[in-house]
């Protein structure tokens, strides 16, 4: 059992032996993106709705048009302004790690 954990042995002046056992750590920063920050705002996962720390969540950035593709051409023709460009919106979609790996947005953690 002791082989799997990191441990440190310390001997006292009165020959008392102390064994400190540390749990093994999977990731150096615990899956978070930024270290030494403390508390971070939590965001909702887009798929399952659980709360994830913002620096831990997987972010998917989408740039898409406001209007649906089928209607887009009709509005372009009907508009008074020549060469009218329909504005785009930028959306950030947040996913928790289990959803991001399951939906294959991100292969590695
Ligand atoms: Zn999720």
CA of 73 to the centre of ligand 1 (A): 36
Q: What is the pLDDT of residue 67?
A: 87
5-102 is classed CATH 3.30.565.10:
no
Residue 4 has pLDDT above 70, yes or no: no
End-to-end CA distance of the chain: 27
What pLDDT score was predicted for residue 1?
A: 56
pLDDT category at 3 given cuts 50, 70, 90 is low
Q: Which two tokens stand for residue 82?
A: 């020549």
Is residue 16 predicted with pLDDT exceeding 80? yes
Render pLDDT for 35-91 as a digit per residue (tens, 0 to 9): 788 889 999 999 999 999 999 999 999 998 888 888 888 888 888 998 888 889 999
Question: Which of 63, 62, 51, 37 minimizes the C-alpha distance to 95?
Answer: 51
Helices (H), 1-109: 69-78, 97-102
Q: Judge contact between 48 and 99, C-beta under 8 A.
A: yes
Distance of CA 88 to the CA centre of its chain: 24
pLDDT over 60 (residue 2): no
Q: How far, in Å, from the CA of 44 to the mean position of ligand 1?
A: 8
Q: DSSP label at 67?
A: S
Cα atoms in the 13 Å half-sphere on the side-chain side of 98: 6
Query: Cα of 108 to ligand 1 centre, how many Å?
Result: 16
């Amino acid at each position: 059992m002791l082989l799997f954990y990191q441990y440190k042995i310390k001997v006292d002046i009165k020959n008392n032996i102390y064994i400190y056992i540390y749990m093994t750590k999977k990731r150096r920063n615990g899956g978070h993106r930024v270290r030494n920050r403390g508390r971070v705002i939590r965001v909702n996962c887009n798929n399952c709705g659980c709360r994830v720390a913002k620096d831990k969540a997987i972010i998917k950035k989408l740039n898409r048009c406001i209007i649906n593709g089928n209607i887009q051409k009709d509005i372009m023709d009907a508009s008074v302004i020549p060469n009218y460009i329909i504005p785009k919106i930028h959306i950030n979609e947040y996913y928790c790690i289990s959803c991001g790996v399951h939906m294959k947005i991100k292969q590695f953690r």
